[in-house]
Amino acid sequence: MILRVTTAALLLSATALFAQTTPGDQFLANWDLNGNGTATVEELREMRSSVFVTFDANDDGFIDATEYVMFDEARQNDVDAYQGPERAQMQKVADAMGLAASDQDSDGRVSEAEFLSGADRWFAKLDKNGHGGITMADFGK
Ligand SMILES: [Ca+2]
Ligand SMILES: [Ca+2]
Ligand SMILES: [Ca+2]
């Protein structure tokens, strides 16, 4: 009986793992800061600012190539949780914060200004239906 309960519990937790959140759910969980179902460009900038501070490990105002190693790994972990078309969707989100996409003056490192200004281009790309906010609809849900 105990064994059966344990198995059921295991099955339940496995189901929870497999019924993972969609990229849209995950995106909004991270970027819709006030939780109203819409990520605005202001929220994208604010969150990018927090992300920047997190990965500018030596606080010199730049995420350089060395610091990008950690940052790339963190974003890749998110991508690796998905497969198929959802993986492609997550990859796009991850790439948008990459060194190549963010380093506008091509000096090999990303300043906070470069990183924050990326939010505007990113927002325009993500807001597929152009209604001024990113919602689940923009992720095809
Ligand atoms: Ca919001
Ligand atoms: Ca730095
Ligand atoms: Ca730069």
CATH numbers and ranges of domains, the chain = 21-139 (1.10.238.10)
For residue 132, what are its two tokens?
């001024």
Q: Which ligand is in closest contact with the Cα of 61?
A: 2
Specify the pLDDT at position 3: 53
Q: How far is the CA of 108 from the centre of ligand 1 (A)?
A: 32
Q: What is the pLDDT of residues 10-63, one digit of tens each?
A: 444 444 455 568 999 999 999 999 999 999 999 999 999 999 999 999 999 999
- 141 token code pair: 């849900």
- Stated pTM of the model: 0.82
Q: Please give the pLDDT value at position 19.
A: 52
- The CA 100 to ligand 1 mean position distance, Å, reads 28
Eight-class DSSP state of 135: -
The stretches of the chain forming alpha helices (DSSP H) are 2-18, 23-31, 41-55, 65-80, 84-95, 99-102, 112-126
**CB within 5 A of ion ligand 3: which residues?**
103, 105, 107
The predicted structure's pLDDT at residue 64: 98
**Beta-carbon contacts of residue 3 (< 8 Å; ≥ 6 apart):** none
Neighbours of 122 (CB within 10 A): 22
- Please give the Cα distance from 73 to 130 (Å, whole number): 31
Which pLDDT score is estimated for 140? 84
